[in-house]
Amino acid sequence: MRRNTTWLGVPAACLALSVMPHAARAQQSILLRYHPHPRAQMQTVVWSDLTSTISEQGSADSITIEAGALQSITQRLVEERGAFYLIEVMIDSTRARTRPLGGAWSDVEHPAQHVAARFLVDDRFRISDVEAVGEDTALIAEIQTMGGLAPGFEFVLPEEPIAVGESWTADIVFPLSTSSGLEGEEGVAESLPQQAEIIALSTFTLDSLVVRPTDTLAYVRIRGSFLPTTVTEAGEEAGGALDITGAFGGHMIWSTAWDAFVSGAVRTRATVRFQLGTPEAGMVTMVLSLDGSTRFQVRP
C-alpha cells in the first residue's frame, strides 16, 4: 500500500535532531532530520479522551458520550533500506472505557491489543509505505490513529534549519475517529465510518530552544484547520456523505538526550454532519460534535 502522506512522528522512534553548535548559540537554529540510532527502541504511554455529542440539526435535545483510552506503545527501528528506515510500531496494550455524560464509567473491549504495523519513512519522516505485521490488515488505520508514528496527528520535518520564532507549513492527513463511544446509540455508529482521513492545513512553529550541555530541548507548537471535507464512504445506515469541519492545536518537546520527542499533547475539535434514516421512512440531518485530546510521554 503506497502512500505519499506522513504520520506525525511525535513519540516516534528516535527522530535525530541535528543542533548546529554556532547557530544554536547565536541564532537559535536547528535542523530536524530523521536518522535513528541502530537498534533504536522506545516505549511511550498515550492518554486519549473524546467527548462526542450527537443531536438532530435544529433540536435542543442531544446525547453526550465520553470515551477514554490508555495505551502503551513500543517503537523500534527494524532496518535501514538505502535512504529509508523501516520502523515497527507495536500497541502493547489498550485499556478503554466509556460513559454517558455524568454517568458511571464502563470498561470496553478494544481491538488494538498486541498489534503492530511497519512504516517506511525517509529523513523528513515522509511515509512511502505502510504494512501490517501479521494477518490483521484491518487494524492498520487503528494503529495509525491510536498509536502510529505519533498519536493523533501528523508531522512533516522542515526542509531547512529553523530558527526560534520561525514556522513551516504542510498539508497533512489528519486521522479522525468518528464513532468512538457511540456504539450503543442505535443507528448512529452504523452511520459513521470508524476512521476518516482529513486533509489539514498545518503550521509548525519553533517556540523556543533551550541549549544545555547534555540535553537540548526544542519546543514546537502546532496549529491547523481541516479543509472542507466530504466523506462518501459512510456507514451502512447513512443516507449520504459526511461533511466534516474542524481545527486542532498542540505542542511537542524534543530532547537531544533521548533523540526523540519525549512529550506532547494535541486537542481536536470537529463537527460532522450526516443524514440518518431511509428514503422510505424519512431522513434527518444529524450533527456530531467531537472534542478530543491526546497526550503522550516517553517512559524513562
Residue pair 253/264 in contact by the 8 Å Cβ criterion: yes
- 289 within a domain of the structure (yes/no): yes
Give the CA distances from residue 267 to residues 26, 55, 101, 153, 183, in Å, rounded to whole numbers and listed in that order.
Answer: 34, 22, 19, 10, 23
- 88 within a domain of the structure (yes/no): yes
The whole-angstrom separation of Cα 243 and Cα 12 is 31
> Is the model more confident about 261 or about 168?
168
Cell of 269: 475539535
CATH number at 28 reads 2.30.230
Cα torsion angle, 267, 245, 198, 35, sign: negative
pLDDT digits (tens, 9 = 90+) for 257-298: 777 788 899 998 989 888 776 667 777 888 989 999 999 999
The whole-angstrom separation of Cα 64 and Cα 273 is 16
pLDDT of residue 1: 47
**Of the given ranges (47-56, 121-130, 161-170), which has the lowest mean pLDDT?**
121-130
**Of the given ranges (93-107, 135-149, 203-217, 253-267), which has the lowest mean pLDDT?**
135-149
Q: Above pLDDT 70, what percent of the chain?
A: 71
pLDDT digits (tens, 9 = 90+) for 11-43: 433 444 444 443 344 456 888 888 888 888 889
pLDDT of residue 238: 47
Instruction: Give the residue-averaged pLDDT of 137-156.
Output: 59
- 10 within a domain of the structure (yes/no): no
> Is the model more confident about 233 or about 300?
300
* 290 DSSP assignment: E
What is the pTM assigned to this prediction?
A: 0.78
Pair type for strands 41-56 and 29-32: unpaired
By residue range, what is the domain housing residue 270?
17-298
Which residue blocks in the chain are alpha helix, DSSP H?
21-26, 140-142
- 281 within a domain of the structure (yes/no): yes
pLDDT of residue 170: 85
The whole-angstrom separation of Cα 178 and Cα 194 is 6
pLDDT of residue 175: 64
Cell of 278: 431511509
pLDDT of residue 240: 56
3-state secondary structure of 78: strand
Tell me the pLDDT band of 205, cut-offs 50, 70 and 90.
very high
Helix (H) or strand (E) run with residue 260 in it = strand 260-278
Cell of 66: 465520553
- 5 within a domain of the structure (yes/no): no
- 145 within a domain of the structure (yes/no): yes
- 46 within a domain of the structure (yes/no): yes
- 3 within a domain of the structure (yes/no): no
pLDDT of residue 198: 76
The whole-angstrom separation of Cα 88 and Cα 77 is 6
pLDDT digits (tens, 9 = 90+) for 111-122: 777 888 888 888
Total domain count for the chain?
1
3-state secondary structure of 24: helix
**Of the given ranges (74-83, 176-185, 264-273), which has the lowest mean pLDDT?**
176-185
Average pLDDT across the chain, whole number:
77
